[in-house]
Structure 1
Amino acid sequence: MPNLTVSGVRTTIVDLPIVRPHRFAHHSIDTQSYLLVEVVTDAGITGVGEGVSPGGPWWSGESIEGQKDIIDRYLAPALVGGDAEDLTGLRRQWDKIAFGNLFAKAALETALLDAVGQVYGVSLATLLGGATRATLPVRWPLSGAGTAQALEEAVDRVALGHKSIKFKMGALAPADDLRRVAELAEKVGSDVDYLGDPNGTWDLRTASWAIRELEAIGFSAVEQPVPRRDLRGLGELREAANRIDIMADESVCVPADALDAVGRRACDSVAVKPGKAGGLRAARLVTDVLDTAGIGTYGGTAIEGPIGTAASAQLFATFPRLAHGCELVGPLLLSDTVTAEPLSYADGELIVPTGPGVGVRLDQDKVGRYRRRDRG
């Protein structure tokens, strides 16, 4: 068996253009940045991971630049000379060196798992417990502003096979936001499943009223209606809801959060993301905690690029249940890729890669084209 001693770590920031502006609750982006993390081993095998920040540090507190700095200055020196297969031991080292920095640690862990998968000739899904599905139903997210363009985009995506839509909300006043999504849902049609996501911008009183309105429109779920720390409020909304699922996102990141949510019975489902959990293995543990308690798991996104999307897809393929599908649309929002082969989508579903490790490889010419040169 080849020697998987880590001999070096490379980090590269790439800035990729997206096909149309993407509006969150508080800002809009037209470029998405990624941190590519390559872990080189003495065996000549290089594993790749991806650090992501959805439009900046507003969501997680971690910027792409900060992830690069924490890895280059602190985590990589502790990794060099270590055994790439000693995932638990290396993670303990990182946690002693730096508190938090979950997205950066997730990128490093993915690169290690990719190297291990390559040497054994198995996919990340196999390393994470085994795939239960070969494809993932993809929910299409619409930007949180505009009506005419959003309607055209929704109609196009439904025609391509997407059976579910997510409305980004919170950029408008609540009453205007609800009028907007009601108009769009009516025009797109009742055969589509709808989810709303105000990114925690509503207070409890507003959320109580807005959720009744979303139920009347026919939404199946609302994601993180109240601020991330208001787990009690989330639970009150769940108790008051009639049919609509209350989904946690920012409120449930790591396994300890999952235990807290289960104890409070605070939600019906959770958007699981490897980055916010601190890695693929921790995200799998979050899912196990939730599934044991009968709480659904949704395959969330931080607008990952092709590497992060491939890794997340392999994780989500292992989930025993997948409430509301997944949202792995990052590569479809990008104008170009940095991998040698694109991920495959068909009939509104993502085909889970089956190659060893993450299942896709970097195109170094593309990496060179989009590598950030003026900063970071």
Structure 2
Amino acid sequence: MSDLTITAVEAIPYRIAYRKPLRFASGEVTHADHVLVRVHTADGHVGTADAPPRPFTYGETQRGMVAVIESVFAPQLIGLDASRREVLHQRMHRTVANPVAKAAVDMAVWDVLGQAWNMPVTRLLGGYTDRMRVSHMLGFDCPDAMVDEAERMRDTYGITTFKVKVGRRPIDDDVEVVRALRTSLGSKAELYIDGNRGWSASESARALRELSDVGLTLAEELCPADDVLGRRWLVAQTPVPFVADESVSTPAEVTREILGGSATAISIKTARTGFTGSNEVLSLATGLGVEVVMGNQIDGQLGSACTLAFGCAKKATSARAGELSNFLDMSDDLLTEPLRIVDGEMLAPTDPGIGVHVDPDKLAHFRLD
């Protein structure tokens, strides 16, 4: 029997540049200033996950994540058997907020368990399928550049589903982009939009009216959830599923947004809710009868592997294309073997645990501590 007592929890800050800035309504990302989280156990297993801070979304920073993991979570978890997931979850949640830091520790523990039990995490979580269709996220740019990127993703990787960042003012810029994408990609491509809270409710309604003939399949966080009445007014008239994303960082917020009429679908991000919390969110969503999409936190390949593992595990999460490809925007990565997208799909790794491995030389090169 393995000794799964947690002996150490590491938080390693690192930085990798993006080939080009990814711009959207709530911010801009030029570097992956992430935190690699490692959980060590007495029998020598090491679980690994990634924490991408998004200060403009959740308030977490790279330095803050390192501090809370090393000074708060590690003392609470060292000495605990890693298989006692509910105890681990309860101890971390004594500390408010810090969703991405908590999620990374949670996923690193699941990685340990998969290794110890010689099974891929996606099988431990449900094992529904071995692959997912891929959606690619397009950040702000001029119409020609965004069309060029979408065509390159289609021609090189077979991707035909695209999440288009919107939320600029005037809204005509984004309407022009979406129309240009539809004209270029044709009717068979799936397009959906994400406003990152950039518009008001009335601006969102106007944009949706002007794009009513484009065939959008989802509309995500077009206006702030804090604009309670305006958001409910908008969602009540929106003809496609309205996706709550950054407004649902906890299961309780999922309940609030759905039952309050402020959303009709949910984005699940393992970078935000880990595997344990994502299970809770999914159970709520399916119980309430709303659709889900596997979202992207501008993840590197390790984060994308975690999204893929959860997405493949469940029927509901694998029904739509998952946002799995934005690691392609990074200038390098940490994994020994890169993830591959073929014919618009990504296969789940089959090695025990999350199933991917960090290259120690690359980590040594990019780490900041």
Q: Which amino acid aligns with 2:186?
A: G
- For 1:62, the equivalent position in structure 2 comes to 60
What displacement does 1:69 show?
0.8
Q: 1:165 to 1:171 in 2, by over 3 A?
A: same
- For 1:91, the equivalent position in structure 2 comes to 89
Q: 1:349 to 1:234 in 2, by over 3 A?
A: farther
Among 217, 223, 228, the residue aligned to 1:226: 223
Q: Which amino acid aligns with 2:74?
A: A
Matched, 1:187 2:187: no
Q: Which amino acid aligns with 1:311?
A: C
- For 1:32, the equivalent position in structure 2 comes to 32
What displacement does 1:346 show?
0.9
What displacement does 1:126 show?
2.3
Equivalent positions of 1:346-357 (< 5 A) are 346-357=342-353
Instruction: State how far apart, in whole Å, the 2-side matches of 1:251 and 1:227 are.
Output: 8
What displacement does 1:121 show?
0.4
Instruction: State how far apart, in whole Å, the 1-side matches of 2:226 and 2:362 are.
Output: 40
Among 332, 335, 338, the residue aligned to 1:339: 335
SS at 2:316 equivalent: coil
Instruction: State how far apart, in whole Å, the 2-side matches of 1:370 and 1:213 are.
Output: 45
Instruction: State how far apart, in whole Å, the 2-side matches of 1:202 and 1:217 are.
Output: 19
Equivalent positions of 1:12-51 (< 5 A) are 12-51=12-51
CA contact (8 A) 2:131 2:346 kept: yes
SS at 1:207 equivalent: helix
- Listed as ranges, the gaps of 5+ residues in structure 1 are none
Instruction: State how far apart, in whole Å, the 2-side matches of 1:195 and 1:84 are.
Output: 39
Q: 1:241 to 1:26 in 2, by over 3 A?
A: closer
- For 1:299, the equivalent position in structure 2 comes to 294
- For 2:72, the equivalent position in structure 1 comes to 74
What displacement does 1:20 show?
2.3
Deviation by residue 1:156-212 (Cα, 9 ceiling, x = unmatched): 112231111111112442122212322232233222111111101111111111111
- For 1:8, the equivalent position in structure 2 comes to 8
Which piece of structure 1 moves more, 100-109 or 246-255? 246-255
- For 2:252, the equivalent position in structure 1 comes to 256
Q: 1:284 to 1:234 in 2, by over 3 A?
A: farther
SS at 2:21 equivalent: strand
- Give the CA RMSD over aligned residues: 1.7
SS at 2:358 equivalent: coil
CA contact (8 A) 1:212 1:241 kept: no
Q: Which amino acid aligns with 1:125?
A: T
Instruction: State how far apart, in whole Å, the 2-side matches of 1:231 and 1:51 are.
Output: 30
Which piece of structure 1 moves more, 333-342 or 319-328? 319-328
Instruction: State how far apart, in whole Å, the 1-side matches of 2:310 and 2:176 are.
Output: 36
Matched, 1:360 2:356: yes
Instruction: State how far apart, in whole Å, the 2-side matches of 1:332 and 1:239 are.
Output: 36
SS at 2:258 equivalent: helix
CA contact (8 A) 1:267 1:295 kept: no
Instruction: State how far apart, in whole Å, the 2-side matches of 1:306 and 1:43 are.
Output: 27
Which piece of structure 1 moves more, 316-325 or 164-173? 316-325
Q: 1:26 to 1:99 in 2, by over 3 A?
A: closer
- For 1:210, the equivalent position in structure 2 comes to 207
Q: State the identity %.
A: 28
Q: Which amino acid aligns with 1:188?
A: L
CA contact (8 A) 1:140 1:162 kept: yes
Matched, 1:266 2:262: yes
Q: Calculate the TM-score normalised by the size of structure 1.
A: 0.92
Q: Which amino acid aligns with 1:82?
A: L
Instruction: State how far apart, in whole Å, the 1-side matches of 2:15 and 2:81 are.
Output: 31
CA contact (8 A) 1:4 1:41 kept: yes
CA contact (8 A) 1:167 1:194 kept: yes
SS at 1:118 equivalent: helix
Q: Which amino acid aligns with 1:143?
A: G
Instruction: State how far apart, in whole Å, the 2-side matches of 1:92 and 1:239 are.
Output: 36
SS at 2:313 equivalent: coil
What displacement does 1:232 show?
4.7
Tell me the number of residue pairs that the alignment of Structure 1 and Structure 2 aligns: 367
Instruction: State how far apart, in whole Å, the 2-side matches of 1:262 and 1:224 are.
Output: 13
SS at 1:360 equivalent: coil
SS at 1:282 equivalent: helix
